[in-house]
């Protein structure tokens, strides 16, 4: 592959950007990682590296130690193969076959209208560069490249317990350079489904399509405390307001693309009486002004648009009432902050909705560093919908990762970082799910830490990665591998 075909010709380190360019060409949507996994398996074989796909679908690659360091502690380099696939409204991009189209702008590599996949493609690229480099000093290395991280951490959950031998794990799925991650939130999903009864669209009524777009969206853990607008919650408020003032029927309501991304867009098709069209338009304009005031300085590009359309079916009034009232009451955002910090402890994201005239589904993702708090909030959501006769499901629960402030690896990382970059690194516990929590539960003896380059707006179109922090991450990775080997 000629990395010059992508806009990475002059970027350093060349080996890392070469591998990231390859990843941008290969579809790697969650639960559909076969193509990228097969490609990397063939690459590993071409490098003479032992590799296998274990029972959970994860790819493991092994590299022998540098000469003289065979007895050093084994190190596992870990990243996930899949990416969140989101695009802006009206953009033609098929994530099942189309390559990502990155551009270089100043100190950023970004995708303008889709997600970039730097989360966690850059982590994978760093690992491949380390396994390819014959000059690195290191002990025995294992690469653990997991599948389905973004939709429930399925690969980590299904990982066999006897396939890894390393004692140290470096997770390369962090998104703020210079800030070591020492722990993470656990979480769980709540899935709400209901089958209803469709009715004919009322004779002589007009169908109106209402769209909300232009919101920033973002990662449902990292950005959840920033007050960004949730398109589903905003449109629910609008529909409830219209319903209180005018006869209204609901034909459909859709929004969001992933349970772990704050919804940027939502749309609904409603039916209203023709004589109320002008009044409804006036109220929608007031909502545009109201939302712009509420989201000033946070989501100033939000737009509400409406136009006439057609519809054949509507929900029954009973189903409509259940859904709108339940969604309006459903929590979204930070539930509780971590005491004495600016970081969320527990939060929830209303991530997707798909209501049609006779069926409906919505999804929530709850995160918390405290398991009992996660259970409490998922319980509240489930109880809310049970009051309406719906039985939600709690799925994809995963453990958090408790920090070990006495970790020898943490002490070494601080020492090497200060030596290489002349300053003390920051440390944090991230309000997002890392596979480290699951891996720690399966391999409790592992000493682990997470780091990586700075990535902006992961899980949203316009996602970008800072170029200079990729080079620094590569410098740190090389230095750490050498220090671990020599220290032994």
Active site residue 151: no
Taking alpha carbons only, the member of 338, 328, 348, 414 closest to residue 370 is: 338
Strand, helix or coil at 195? strand
Alpha-carbon gap, residue 9 to 104, rounded angstroms: 10
On whether the CB atoms of residues 346 and 370 are closer than 8 A, the answer is: yes
On whether the CB atoms of residues 404 and 169 are closer than 8 A, the answer is: no
Per-domain residue ranges for the chain?
3-185+401-487, 189-398
- The per-residue pLDDT for 3 is 46
State which H helix or E strand residue 323 sits in. Answer: helix 317-329
Tell me the pTM: 0.76
Alpha-carbon gap, residue 463 to 114, rounded angstroms: 8
Q: Peptide bond preceding 213: is omega within 30 degrees of 0, i.e. cis? A: no
Alpha-carbon gap, residue 85 to 117, rounded angstroms: 8
Alpha-carbon gap, residue 215 to 295, rounded angstroms: 10
Which residues are CB-neighbours of 94 under 8 A, at least 6 positions away?
Answer: none
On whether the CB atoms of residues 76 and 146 are closer than 8 A, the answer is: no
Alpha-carbon gap, residue 33 to 31, rounded angstroms: 6
> To 10 degrees, what angle do helices 317-329 and 231-245 make?
130
DSSP 415-468: HHHHHHHSSPPEEEEESS--THHHHHHH-TT-EEEE----EESTTSTT-EEEHH
- How many C-beta neighbours within 10 Å does residue 293 have? 8
Options 3.40.50.300, 2.60.120.10, 3.40.50.720, 3.40.630.10; CATH for 3-185+401-487 is 3.40.630.10
- The per-residue pLDDT for 4 is 47
- Tell me how many degrees the CA angle 109-115-118 measures, rounded to the nearest 5: 50
Q: In CATH terms, are 3-185+401-487 and 189-398 the same topology?
A: no
Which residues are CB-neighbours of 433 under 8 A, at least 6 positions away?
Answer: 153, 184, 185, 186, 187, 221, 260, 367, 398
CATH domain 189-398 topology: Alpha-Beta Plaits (3.30.70)
Identified catalytic residue from 119, 149, 175, 189:
149
Identified catalytic residue from 22, 33, 82, 148:
82
- The per-residue pLDDT for 101 is 95
- How many C-beta neighbours within 10 Å does residue 479 have? 17
Query: Which residues of the chain fall short of a pLDDT of 70?
Result: 1-5, 488
Tokens of 457: 């707006």
Active site residue 142: no
What's the chain's average pLDDT?
95
List C-alpha distances in Å: 353 to 14, 55, 148: 42, 33, 21
- The per-residue pLDDT for 433 is 82
Look at the chain and count its residues: 488
Beta strands in 264-358 (DSSP E): 266-273, 303-309, 313-315, 333-337, 344-355
């Amino acid at each position: 592959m000629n990395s010059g075909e992508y806009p990475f010709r002059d970027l350093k380190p060349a080996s890392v950007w070469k591998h990231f360019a390859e990843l941008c060409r290969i579809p790697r949507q969650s639960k559909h990682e076969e193509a990228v996994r097969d490609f990397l398996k063939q690459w590993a074989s071409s490098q003479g590296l032992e590799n296998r796909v274990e029972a959970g679908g994860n790819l493991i690659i092994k590299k022998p130690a540098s000469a003289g360091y065979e007895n050093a502690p084994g190190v596992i380099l870990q990243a996930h193969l899949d990416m969140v696939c989101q695009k802006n409204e009206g953009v033609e991009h098929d994530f099942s076959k189309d390559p990502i189209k990155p551009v270089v702008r100043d100190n950023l590599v970004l995708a303008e209208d889709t997600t970039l996949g730097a989360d966690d493609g850059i982590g994978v690229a760093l690992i491949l560069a380390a396994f390819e480099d014959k000059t690195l000093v290191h002990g025995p290395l294992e690469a653990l490249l997991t599948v389905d991280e973004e939709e429930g951490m399925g690969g980590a959950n299904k990982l066999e317990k006897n396939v890894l031998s390393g004692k140290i794990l470096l997770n390369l799925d962090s998104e703020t350079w210079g800030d070591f991650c020492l722990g993470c939130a656990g979480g769980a999903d709540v899935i709400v489904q209901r089958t209803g009864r469709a009715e004919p669209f009322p004779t002589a009524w007009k169908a109106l399509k209402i769209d909300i777009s232009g919101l920033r969206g973002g990662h449902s853990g990292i950005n959840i405390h920033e007050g960004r607008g949730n398109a589903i919650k905003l449109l629910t408020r609008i529909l409830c307001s219209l319903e209180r003032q005018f006869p209204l029927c609901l034909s459909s309501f859709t929004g969001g693309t992933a349970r772990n991304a704050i919804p940027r867009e939502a749309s609904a098709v409603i039916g209203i009486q023709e004589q109320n069209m002008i009044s409804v338009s006036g109220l929608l304009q007031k909502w545009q002004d109201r939302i712009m005031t509420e989201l000033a300085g946070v989501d100033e590009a939000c737009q509400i648009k409406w136009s006439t359309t057609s519809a054949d079916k509507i929900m029954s009034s009973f189903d409509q009432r259940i859904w709108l009232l339940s969604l309006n009451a459903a929590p979204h955002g930070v539930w509780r902050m971590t005491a004495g910090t600016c970081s969320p402890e527990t939060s929830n994201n209303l991530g997707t909705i798909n209501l049609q005239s006779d069926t409906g589904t919505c999804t929530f993702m709850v995160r918390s560093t405290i398991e009992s708090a996660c259970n409490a909030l998922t319980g509240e959501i489930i109880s809310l919908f049970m009051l309406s006769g719906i039985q939600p499901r709690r799925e994809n629960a995963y453990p958090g990762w408790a920090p070990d402030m006495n970790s020898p690896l943490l002490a070494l990382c601080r020492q090497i970082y200060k030596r290489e970059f002349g300053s003390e690194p920051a440390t944090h516990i991230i309000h997002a799910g890392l596979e480290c929590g699951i891996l720690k539960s399966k391999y409790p003896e592992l000493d682990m830490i997470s780091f990586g380059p700075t990535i902006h707006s992961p899980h949203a179109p316009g996602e970008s990665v800072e170029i200079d922090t990729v080079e620094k991450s590569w410098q740190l990775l090389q230095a750490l591998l050498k220090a671990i080997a020599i220290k032994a």
